[in-house]
Amino acid sequence: MPHNLNVTNGGVSMMYVGETPWHKLGTKLEKPATSEEAIQEAGLNFTVQKFRLQTATNNLPVETHYATVRTDTMEVLGVVGSRYEPIQNKDAFRTFDALVGEGEAIYHTAGALGRGERIWLLAKLPDYIRVNGNDVVEKYRLS
């Protein structure tokens, strides 16, 4: 699976607007999505929590490290230090809305890679950049 897209319960964690991606996977939307729609359609409406680690033999707690766990599948996404706090997908997308301006960006693609440990959002921004007078470059932001 060279695309490395997350697949959970047979669903591919990706949404897109416009041209079909090379791998032909994900949910195609007919119109630009809001951040809430992007989260829902890309299958990113899950949360991540920290769980204390423990030793396998005596169940002794490991005080300095935690497992980050996807709560819908209970898959371990990684191991982090005690000061780490996960950023939930809805909060990351909300921050993106605040940076760009709610309703200003066109959410082009969003999805998850691996077991869901890497999330992305690509948005087309309003307006464009003109280079050398005639060369028009569209603006995008990847988070």
Write down the pLDDT at residue 138.
87
Write down the pLDDT at residue 128.
80
Write down the pLDDT at residue 47.
97
Question: For 9-143, where are the E strands, in sequence order?
Answer: 11-12, 14-17, 27-29, 48-54, 61-70, 75-81, 106-113, 118-131, 135-142
Looking at per-residue pLDDT, the higher value among 143 and 65 belongs to 65
- Contacts of residue 13, Cβ cutoff 8 Å, sequence gap at least 6: 5, 6, 7, 26, 42, 43, 44, 111, 112, 116
Across residues 34-40, what is the average pLDDT?
Answer: 88
Write down the pLDDT at residue 102.
62
CA distances, 29 to each of 11, 81, 90 (Å)? 15, 38, 19
- Average confidence score pLDDT of the chain: 89
Residue 48's pLDDT band (cuts 50, 70, 90): very high
